Amino acid sequence: MSSGSSTLLPLKSYEECLAFKTATGRPVRLDECIHGTRELLRAIEDNAIDVLNLKIGRVEGLTKAKLLRDLCVAVGIPMYIQDTSGGGFNAAATAHLAQSTPPGLGLSAWDCAIAVTNQIGQGLERNRPKQMRAPEIPDSGVEPDLDALGKPVALYGNG
């Protein structure tokens, strides 16, 4: 997506975003066309990106999202950090990734758990409306709600 002073123009492909950036010099926020390192490196090389909308689920998980975040940090590209959807576990991953991003490069983080009515995990700290914070412990900080999960469909191992 390209970002103007007050409007967003949805563009359908990376090529359209690159053509827009080349023709206008306007800032461009890339979103759906970045699925991994290859696309991000191409966008950096083409000078086609000013901001990344980094969605953890779209890039196949937290490990790959951290890699893309670190690449953006290395070259100074700010990011919106979020997930495509999910509950408390997804929101905790988003909060941890956002909080570990250097100041000025993490523009915002979206608490995707607010869009889910049936939570299967609890514990992400929400200090105020519209503000979440990952706990400062070496874990996600979210405990599964066993009642919400229901009975297991299968058990494996010695348990």
pLDDT of 11-50, one tens digit each? 889 999 999 999 999 999 999 999 999 999 999 999 999 9
List, for residues 74-97, the tens digit of each pLDDT value: 999 999 999 877 777 788 888 889
Q: Into which CATH architecture does domain 2-149 fall?
A: Alpha-Beta Barrel (3.20)
Q: Which residues pair with 3 in a beta bridge?
A: 8
Per 3-state DSSP, the chain is made up of helix, strand and coil in percentages (nearest 5) of: 35, 20, 45
Backbone phi and psi for residue 50, each to the nearest 5 degrees, phi listed first = -115, -30
Residue 113 contacts residue 86 (beta carbons within 8 Å): yes
Cβ neighbours around 34 below 10 Å, total: 21
Max avg pLDDT among 51-60, 113-122, 136-145: 51-60
Cα dihedral sign, 84-86-91-97: negative
Say whether pTM exceeds 0.85.
no
The confidence score (pLDDT) of residue 126 equals 64
* Average pLDDT rounded to a whole number, residues 97-115: 87
Domain ranges of the chain: 2-149
The total of other beta-carbon atoms located within 10 Å of residue 54's CB is 29
